[in-house]
Chains A and B, each alone.
Chain A
Amino acid sequence: MSTTLPAKTLTFALVGNPNCGKTTIFNALTGLRQKIGNYPGVTVEKKVGSFFTQHGEKRDLIDLPGTYSLVPQSPDERVTRDTLLGLQSDTPAPDRVICVLDASNLERNLYLATQVLEVGLPTIVVLNMMDMAAARGEKIDLELLSEHLGCPVVGATANHSDGLLTLRVALSQPARANLHPRKDFVDTDNVSEAAISARYDQIGIIANGVTTYSDIHADDRTDRLDAVLTHPVWGWVVFLGLMGLMFWSIFVFASYPMDLIDILFSKVKEIILGNMFPGDLRDLFTSGILAGVGGVIKFLPQILILFLFIGLLEDSGYMARAAFIMDRVMSRVGLHGKSFIPLLSSYACAIPGIMATRTIESPRDRLATILVAPFMSCSARLPVYGLMISTLIPGGVASAGEKAGIMMLMYLLGTAAAFFFALLFKRTFLRGEPPPLVLELPPYRLPGLFTVLQHMLSRAKAFLTRAGTLILGLSILLWFLSTFPKTDAGLSGSFAGRIGHFIEPALTPLGFNWKIGIGLIGAQAAREVFVSTMGIVYSIDGADKNTEPLRLALLKDHWPDGCLVFTPLVALCIMVFFVFSMQCIATLAVVKRETNSWRWPAFQFFYMTTFAYLVTLALYQAGRALGY
Chain B
Amino acid sequence: MDPVTTDGTLLYLSDLTPGLIATVVAFIGDLERTKRLREMGLLPGTKVKFVRWAPMGDPLEIELRGYRLSLRRHEAELIQVQLVS
With contact pairs A111-B39, A197-B43 given, residues A236 and B71 touching in the complex (Cβ less than 8 Å): no
Size class of the A contact interface (CB-based, 8 Å): 35 or more
Q: Is the CB of A438 within 8 A of B43?
A: no
Q: Is the CB of A438 within 8 A of B37?
A: yes
Q: Is the CB of A196 within 8 A of B43?
A: yes
A-B contacts counted at CB < 8 A amount to 111
Nearest Cβ on chain A to B32's Cβ, whole angstroms: 8
Is A185 part of the binding interface, using a Cβ–Cβ cutoff of 8 Å? no
Complex formed: what's the CA distance from A69 to B72 in Å?
Answer: 20
Nearest Cβ on chain A to B38's Cβ, whole angstroms: 5
With contact pairs A436-B71, A439-B71, A441-B70 given, residues A69 and B55 touching in the complex (Cβ less than 8 Å): no
Binds B, one of A79-87, A242-250, A320-328: A320-328
Interface SS of B by simple majority: mixed
Q: Is the CB of B59 within 8 A of A230?
A: no
| In-complex Cβ contact of B69 among A71, A197, A440 (8 A) | A440
Of chain B, the residue at the smallest CB distance from A233 is B55
Complex formed: what's the CA distance from A541 to B21 in Å?
Answer: 71
Q: Is the CB of A196 within 8 A of B65?
A: no
| In-complex Cβ contact of B27 among A104, A193, A337 (8 A) | A193
Nearest Cβ on chain B to A583's Cβ, whole angstroms: 35
Q: Is the CB of B41 within 8 A of A438?
A: no
Q: Is the CB of B69 within 8 A of A324?
A: no
Nearest Cβ on chain A to B45's Cβ, whole angstroms: 8
Q: Is the CB of A71 within 8 A of B65?
A: no
Nearest Cβ on chain A to B36's Cβ, whole angstroms: 5
With contact pairs A69-B39, A436-B34, A436-B36 given, residues A441 and B61 touching in the complex (Cβ less than 8 Å): yes
Residues of A within 8 A of B55 (CB): 230-232, 235-236, 325
Is A108 part of the binding interface, using a Cβ–Cβ cutoff of 8 Å? yes
Q: Is the CB of A230 within 8 A of B52?
A: yes
Complex formed: what's the CA distance from A328 to B57 in Å?
Answer: 8
Q: Is the CB of A105 within 8 A of B67?
A: yes
Per the 8 Å Cβ criterion, residues 9-52 of B in contact with A are 27, 31, 33-41, 43-45, 51-52
14 other contacts beyond A193-B27, A438-B70, A440-B70, with CB at 8 A cut-off? Answer: A69-B39, A111-B40, A196-B39, A197-B44, A231-B55, A324-B59, A327-B59, A328-B56, A329-B56, A436-B34, A436-B37, A437-B75, A438-B40, A440-B67
Residue contacts A-B, CB under 8 angstroms, 15 given: A69-B39, A193-B38, A193-B44, A196-B38, A320-B70, A324-B54, A325-B56, A328-B57, A328-B59, A434-B74, A436-B36, A436-B74, A438-B40, A438-B70, A439-B59
